[in-house]
Amino acid sequence: MRARRVKAVILQNWFVMLHSPLRIMELLYWPLIELLLWGFITTYLVQRHLDVPGGARVLLGAVVLWQVMMRSQTELSMVFLIDMWDRNVVNLYASPLRQSEYVLGGLLFSAARVVVGTGVLMVVARVFFAFDLLRAGTVLVPTLVLLSAMGWALGLMVRAALLRFGTNAEILAWSVAFMIQPVAAVFYPVSSLPEWLQTIAHLVPASYVFEALRAYLDHGAVLVGQLAVAAALDVAYLVLGTWLAALAFQAVRRRGLLARPGY
Closest CA to 139 of 58, 239, 198, 235: 58
What pLDDT, on a 0 to 100 scale, did the predictor assign at position 209? 94
Q: How far is CA 43 from the centre of its chain?
A: 27
Q: ∠ CA(25), CA(206), CA(140), 5° rounding? A: 75
Residue type, 193: L
DSSP state of 170: T
CA distances from 186 to 32, 100, 124, 240 (A): 17, 32, 20, 24
Question: Is residue 186 packed enough to be buried (19+ CB in 10 Å), middle (13-18) or exposed (0-12)?
Answer: buried
Q: How far apart are CA 179 and CA 198, in angstroms?
A: 15
Number of H helices and number of E strands within the chain?
11, 0
DSSP state of 168: G
Which stretches of the chain score pLDDT less than 70?
49-57, 259-263
Closest CA to 26 of 93, 108, 97, 120: 120
What pLDDT, on a 0 to 100 scale, did the predictor assign at position 139? 86
What pLDDT, on a 0 to 100 scale, did the predictor assign at position 54? 56
Calculate helix-pair angle for 99-129, 29-47, nearest 10 degrees: 30
pLDDT in tens, 181-216: 999 989 888 999 999 999 999 999 999 999 998 888
Phi, psi of 13, deg, nearest 5: -70, -35
Q: How far apart are CA 14 and CA 7, in angstroms?
A: 10
pLDDT in tens, 68-100: 999 999 999 998 888 888 888 878 877 888 888
What pLDDT, on a 0 to 100 scale, did the predictor assign at position 55? 58
Q: Which residues have C-beta within 8 Å of that of residue 146, sequence separation ≥ 6?
A: 205, 206, 209, 227, 230, 231, 234
What pLDDT, on a 0 to 100 scale, did the predictor assign at position 50? 65
Calculate helix-pair angle for 99-129, 224-255, nearest 10 degrees: 140
DSSP state of 184: T
Residue type, 201: A
